[in-house]
Structure 1
Amino acid sequence: MSELYDLLVFGKKKRDFIETERSVQTSFSPKENTYSQHPSEEEDWDKIRSEVISCIKCRLFRTRRKAVFGDGSNQTMLMVVGEGPGADEDLQGSPFVGKAGQLLTKMLQAVQIKREKIFITNIVKCRPPENRDPQPDEISVCSNYLKRQIALIRPKVILTLGRIAASFFLETKEGITKLRGKSYEKNGIIIVPIFHPSALLRNEALKYPAWEDLKMLKEILEKLGFYQNDSIEK
């Protein structure tokens, strides 16, 4: 990718950003996760959606307008997972439709990925009040829906957006600044942590390292044959 892409997509040239060392190594975790287990025979996509929409298992249902199940294809090797819905998502019932979502769309397009050909969702399906961080007990309850989604989709790659999503998958308290820049593998799923689009809107200096991470994601997907189907954005 050329500096022209950096300029067109993120509005800056390389020299305008914070330089961050990029590593393309893959880290392997010895811990066994539970989010890639095979679904039960009676499990199906519509059943999970119905349960999410009507869920009252944690306090977040009391302040939500709409639960946000996720959008896109459940026949894909790539999932994108954020932390939770914001105000626009809460109103519309769809993930990443506000300003951060618009930037996410541009980021995906920059590496030739169509939103509708992948699946985008969040750790928690209801908006935390005032956009606060989801609490551990809320994540514990709601992430079961995410685990079931993953079990049905069986993705090869999960792109995590921000600290909370990365921490959930990698089971660490390390910040996103330390986690980004490389990929990790757990039970055959490659985890790629990047900055949340909302962080890029607040701090443009983060856009260049995020762009480097997107190019790393593209390299991984190319090796897996992702671009051999119609998921490519032309």
Structure 2
Amino acid sequence: MDSKNIILQENLQQIRKITETCGEKVNVSKNTQKIAPPAKFTRSLSNGNKIPVDITIINTHKQNNKVTLETNNIQNMNIKNASQNPSTSNKTKALATPQSYAMAAKASVLTDNQNTQNVNNYTLVQSKKKKKNLGTNESSSGFVGVEKRVWIYFHRIQRTVTKTNIESFIKDQPGLLDSDINVKELPTSETQNKCFVLDAHFDLKDKLYDPSFWPKGVGIKRYRFDKHRENNKSFL
């Protein structure tokens, strides 16, 4: 081999080395490129400041909202299908009926202070006053109770009417001539209508509470001792 060929081969080898070296540098530069940092998201506050928000948190929040929306859609579809299905809708209506409550009320034990009334499968509980226990035995030893009497309040009476007028009216009624009835006028101002209180034997309660017994326009109702405490001392 002559010297020219040797020199040519050496030059070719050097060129190959230079080419390979340049290729490696190019590959290294491509592999060592810096990866761009993830995009930073910010959220504005009410005071105008902004805070960084992680992209993973945002993606998780979006995913949760998507799952919640899909769950709500499934529930709505189930409700719609149940309403369209006759057998399911009948079961739903059966649960809404109050028959079970009425049956439970009938089976319960009622006390002496309550009574019930069934109206349209509903049980209405009505309050009931406690009965007073009064003695009924006849005593000859001087130990006796107070006579039970009825107390009636009269109002809407003209200023010209007096106690004597009321007593005369009652005595003139059939069967009440010898009845034990007391009438007391209650104090009122000169510009108000008069009002009276009457007490009589308890046997006359039904007759005295009958509106047809009294003159037209006169108001009658039960006398309340707690409302007229100042006047109670004058006739008790």
Report the TM-score, using the length of structure 2 for normalisation: 0.21
Report the structure number with the largest CA radius of gyration.
2
1 or 2 for the larger relative contact order (CA 8 Å, sep ≥6)?
1
TM-score (norm 1): 0.21
